[in-house]
Amino acid sequence: MASPAPPTSRKLVAIIPGDGIGPEVIAQATRVLEHYRDHRSFAIDLWHLDLGADRYLRTGVTFPPDVRDRIASEADAVLLRALGDPRVPGLEHARDILFGLRFGLDLYANVRPVRALSDRLVPLKGRTAADVDFVVFRENTEGLYAGVGGQFKRGTRDELAISEDVNTRKGVERLIRAGFEYATAHGKTRVHMADKSNAVRHAHELWYRVFFEVAADFPGIEARHLYVDAMALQMILDPRSFQVIVTCNLFGDILTDLGAGLQGGLGMAASANVHPRVDGCCDSDHGMSRVGLFEPVHGSAPPLAGKDVANPLASILTVGMLLSHLGWPDEERRLEALVIRAIEERRCTADVGGGLGTRAVGDWIVEELGRGA
Ligand code: IPM
Ligand code: MN
């Protein structure tokens, strides 16, 4: 298949290194972007943002509105990782920044590939990398993450806490459609949906109903439903049965950590938060959706910070997704091929069987890119 023409306008990539191991791993991802900008003449501008626990502790501001607005109006992509710092036990900065971007930019699809890049990384007995190759479309703007609810009589013996599971027709439908459209575009034959409609009656009955309604528009694709508990089991017993999974926010969060376990751990899991355009759906164009937010799935891992041990490969794979979003899909494949070599040749960190530090892995990736790999 011919590659699309490269983008014609300059692209602005905002970089948020965040807390813990974030700055170390993002530094390697940034070097890759700099390589493309400086040695391959990609028209990319990098905008380094000072956002995270340090800034919050210094200024009392988590996510300044002017920064948020500039990202919304000018950036094409945001590269983020990782927020969470023991000095901010309530994690209010992490929520404000991460959810501020996901919700504020209406990035309704959290696309998380669960793809093992080497047999060696698959922890299941008798399974190979070929058995672990699917994509989770996690709803990213509502559900139990919507923050609707409250506490009553807090701190007393009578206290009450409620978090509502918010599911809108629009939110459910566009996510499910995005999953089916992805399947169609990528030659997949099956889409699974996980809900808990046997117990969470109202909200998940909506998922169940809309899933099969949307599936009717895609007759070439098999639609299968599983309760989420059964899906978790099947991901371990028969990961090969999955190609594309669509699910709600919380279940997607949990299933993709399980998925990360199948692909070699959190150091290997990449993700894209995007707003795909879907046909035939009640979606609105509010003019901000061209921005994508790209983050490795792993957290800030404070105990590992500053030790040069964190695996930067998830961040490198995430840069691949980012470049694809900007219009350079070949580079996603190129970076993935390099990551596969890094694993095979053990030019990687200890969590995936290598002996290198974070920076040395980045050195190797950038050198290989320079050699035209
Ligand atoms: C993730 C993370 C976040 C989430 C946390 C940090 C709020 O676990 O991106 O998977 O639950 O979405
Ligand atoms: Mn998570």
Distance CA 253, CA 258 (A): 9
Higher-scoring residue by pLDDT: 54, 282 = 54
Range 163-176 average pLDDT: 98
Report the DSSP pairing between strands 292-294 and 244-247: unpaired
Residue 197 pLDDT exceeds 70: yes
**Which residues participate in catalysis according to the annotation?**
145, 196, 229, 253, 257
Q: For ligand 1, pick from 19, 92, 253, 271 the residue to mutate: most ligand atoms within 8 Å of CB.
A: 253
Residues with CB under 5 A from ligand 2 (ion): 253
pLDDT tens, position by position, 35-78: 999 999 999 999 999 999 999 999 999 999 999 999 999 999 99
pLDDT of amino acid 290:
81
**Ligand whose nearest atom lies closest to the CA of 83:** 1
How many C-beta atoms lie closer than 10 Å to residue 98's C-beta? 22
Quickly list H helices, the chain. Answer: 22-39, 53-59, 65-74, 92-104, 169-185, 201-215, 228-237, 249-262, 313-326, 329-344, 358-370
What pLDDT does 347 receive?
98
pLDDT at 278: 85
- Give the number of the atom of ligand 1 that is nearest the alpha carbon of residue 110: 9
Average pLDDT over residues 153-161: 98
**Domains detected in the chain:** 10-105+291-373 (3.40.718.10), 112-264+274-280 (3.40.718.10)
Q: How confident is the model at residue 8 (pLDDT cuts 50, 70, 90)?
A: confident
pLDDT higher than threshold 70 for residue 2: no
Please state, as a whole number, how many other Cβ atoms lie within 10 Å of the Cβ of residue 107.
Answer: 23
Ligand nearest to the CA of 144: 1
- pTM as predicted: 0.95
For residue 314, the one-letter residue type is A
Determine the distance separating the centroid of ligand 2 and the alpha carbon of 1, expressed in angstroms.
Answer: 34
Mean pLDDT of 226-240: 98
> What's the whole-number average pLDDT of the chain?
95
Percent of the chain with pLDDT over 70: 96
Per-residue pLDDT for 264 more than 80? yes
Query: How much of the chain exceeds pLDDT 90, in percent?
Result: 93
Q: Closest Cα to atom 8, ligand 1: which residue?
A: 253
Q: Give the pLDDT of residue 4.
A: 65
Question: Do residues 350 and 25 touch, judged by C-beta distance below 8 A?
Answer: no
**Which of 98, 249, 271, 293 has most ligand 1 atoms within 8 Å of its beta carbon, as the pocket-test mutant?**
98
Closest-CA residue, ligand 1 atom 9, reads: 297
Nearest ligand 1 atom to the CA of 94 is 6
Tell how far the Cα of 290 is from the centroid of ligand 1, in angstroms.
Answer: 22
Interval 305-347: pLDDT, tens: 999 999 999 999 999 999 999 999 999 999 999 999 999 999 9
Model pLDDT, residue 3: 59
Predicted pLDDT of residue 280: 59
pLDDT score of 281 more than 70? no
Atom 7 (ligand 1) nearest CA: 95
* pLDDT value at 271 more than 50: yes
pLDDT of amino acid 59: 96
- My answer on whether omega of the bond before 310 falls inside 30° of 0, hence cis, is no
DSSP string, 245-292: EEE-HHHHHHHHHHHHHHTTSGGG---EEE----TTS-----S-TT-E
| pLDDT at position 1 | 46
Tell me which of 19 and 4 has the higher pLDDT: 19
Instruction: Summarize pLDDT for 200-216 with one digit per residue, the tens.
Output: 999 999 999 999 999 99
Taking residues 2-21, what's their average pLDDT?
Answer: 86
**Residue 287 — pLDDT band, cuts 50, 70, 90?**
very low
Residues with CB under 6 A from ligand 1: 98, 253, 297
